[in-house]
Copies of this chain bind each other. A is one copy, B any other.
Amino acid sequence: MDTDLRFMSRALQLAWRGLGYTAPNPAVGALLVKDGRVIGEGYHHRAGEAHAEVAAIESATESVRGATLYCTLEPCCHEGPAKRTPPCTRRIIAEGIARVVVASLDPNPEVDGRGLQALRNAGVAVSLGPLTGEASRLNEAFAAAVRLKRPFVHLKAAQTLDGYLAAGSGDSRWITDGAARAEAHRLRAISDAVLVGAGTVRHDDPALTVRHVRGRQPLRVVLGGRRALPEDARLFTDEFAACTIVYRPAAAEVDVDLDDLLSDLRQRGVTSLLVEGGSRVLSSFLARGLWDKFSLFFGPQILGGGISTVCGLGIDSIDKALELKELTVEPIGSGFVVRGYRDPEALFGKPVEAGTEGVHRCSDHGRPSGVEVDCVYGNR
């Protein structure tokens, strides 16, 4: 295997460890290599702690002078009152690192490329890629924050092969098995907030906790209607009751305005929202175009009728259908999971040619200033 690819794959593995803990920063991994040997590794653990590059340098088992640094994201190069850590480029230059390979540029259109430029100006060899696509998709929520200025909206549903999330009776236990549910809990753990509709609260009384994997508890959001919600629901009575918020429509309206909801969640520091259903809620986000990714877990069943996962989009021909882009499919337990994006170019930009990079002002890793750290991060 190509050497750069091998080491960058490892850096990406390291980055994954931070995923779900670094918001509003991206997850980043870094690796230091000298004479073909790994001499240091690190990743960004959480906002306010060392960036991956610095963590790798500080873990080094020998002098990093002349080493190559592999980093999944372009190193930061700026400072300012809102920035908690000094610029990584300065440290990289001071340590005498000879070469820096980054998988992806910082996506902020005002800043991407300046980190690399600062390094190049100091005589450090720089290159972009491999694994540019993988590294940018790892930080899909960060990309939404920077490019779309709203939380990343990830729809999730579990359905039969013929598109029903429950039988007509409402029965949905169990369409998917333990392996799929563990993966669904992993999605919760890497999301800042999880949302369900009032109908789901009434019918399923979900806990929306992270039980089948280790991970942090996201904020729990209920998209309420005009009817009262059951006061004894788990979301309002369990140990995380303080981490549940309910949005209700304004008096004159029928439904909560989803733009307002996303704005408010963003103000609360939510960078990623997992929408778990039911049918009406999923369909509302789809109909409004307010979604970025859909993870559809399929069980092995054919029902022939029931509650459709999606309804009422008013689409009357195939060429007007919504489409999942960059679709992937992966077996899981007795079924499989299909994942796709609504508009990868809007999130990740046009694919970048390896070896080229823009030259702009450098990155602050997308951290909005003045973010309140609330109960979303309380049990990290």
CA distance A213 to B174 in the complex (A): 40
CB of A323 closer than 8 Å to a CB of B: yes
CB of A289 closer than 8 Å to a CB of B: no
What is the 8 Å Cβ interface bit string for chain A, positions 297-322, against chain B (1 contact, 0 not)?
01111111100111111111110011
Quick check: A168 and B316 within 8 Å, CB to CB? yes
Protomer copies: 2
CB of A368 closer than 8 Å to a CB of B: no
Quick check: B324 and A329 within 8 Å, CB to CB? no
What is the 8 Å Cβ interface bit string for chain A, positions 326-360, against chain B (1 contact, 0 not)?
01110100111010100000000000000000000
Pick from B162, B169, B310, B334: contact of A316, CB below 8 A. Answer: B169
Quick check: A329 and B327 within 8 Å, CB to CB? no
- Number of contact residues on A: which range applies? 35 or more
CB of A160 closer than 8 Å to a CB of B: yes
User: What residues of chain B lie closer than 8 Å to A327, measured between beta carbons?
Assistant: 300, 334-336
Which residues of A, 116-166, contact B by the 8 Å Cβ criterion? 159-164, 166
Quick check: A315 and B305 within 8 Å, CB to CB? yes
Q: How far is the CB of A234 from chain B (nearest CB, A)?
A: 22
CB of A325 closer than 8 Å to a CB of B: yes
User: What residues of chain B lie closer than 8 Å to A305, measured between beta carbons?
Assistant: 308, 311-315
User: What residues of chain B lie closer than 8 Å to A311, measured between beta carbons?
Assistant: 304-305
CA distance A329 to B180 in the complex (A): 15
User: What residues of chain B lie closer than 8 Å to A321, measured between beta carbons?
Assistant: 160, 167, 301-303
Q: Which 10 A-B pairs rank lowest in CB-CB distance, beginning with the nearest?
A: A163-B163, A304-B313, A301-B321, A162-B163, A302-B322, A329-B336, A304-B310, A171-B317, A300-B324, A169-B316
What are 11 A-B pairs at a CB distance below 8 A?
A163-B308, A167-B318, A169-B316, A294-B302, A302-B324, A303-B310, A303-B313, A303-B322, A305-B308, A327-B334, A336-B338
